[in-house]
Amino acid sequence: MNPPINIEAVYAQIKTVYDPEIPVNIYELGLIYDVQLPEPGKVKVIMTLTAPACPAAEQIPNDVKSRISTIPGVNEVEIELTFDPPWDKDMMTEEAKLELGML
C-alpha cells in the first residue's frame, strides 16, 4: 500500500518548475488552476499556459508531471491543460509581479 500523497509536497514540486522565458515559477505565475488527489496514488493538475501558442507548451506540463512523479506514493500524474479562463497578468502573485518589476 502506498503512503498517502502529501498535497504540500505536490505544490513544492510544482514551484520548482519555471517557464523558460520568465524567471518565475509557474505557481507564482498563476498557471496552476487546481491540484486534485482523486484517488490513492493519483494526482491531477489542471493548469494553463501564458498563451496557447507558448513555445514551452510541451516542456512545462512534462516538467510538472516528472517532478510530481518523484513524490512517494504517486503512481500516476494527469495534467489537464485548459485555456478557460484564459491566463492574464492579474493571476500572478504579488511576489511574481514584484520579481518581474510590475509593482
The pLDDT of residue 69 is 97
Where exactly are the structural domains of the chain?
Answer: 7-84
- Predicted TM-score (pTM) of the model is 0.92
Give the pLDDT band of residue 55 (cuts 50, 70, 90): confident
Report the SS3 class of residue 94. Answer: helix
**% of the chain residues with pLDDT over 70:** 98
- Cα distances from 95 to residues 11, 43, 55, in angstroms, run 16, 26, 24
Q: Give the DSSP per-residue string, 10-75.
A: HHHHHTT-B-TTSSSBTTTTT-EEEEEEEETTEEEEEE--SSTT-TTTTHHHHHHHHHHTTSTT--
Mean pLDDT calculated for residue range 58-75 = 96
Give the pLDDT band of residue 1 (cuts 50, 70, 90): low
Tell me which fold the domain 7-84 belongs to: GMP Synthetase; Chain A, domain 3 (3.30.300)
Tens digit of each residue's pLDDT (9 = 90 or more) over 17-35: 998 888 899 999 999 999 9
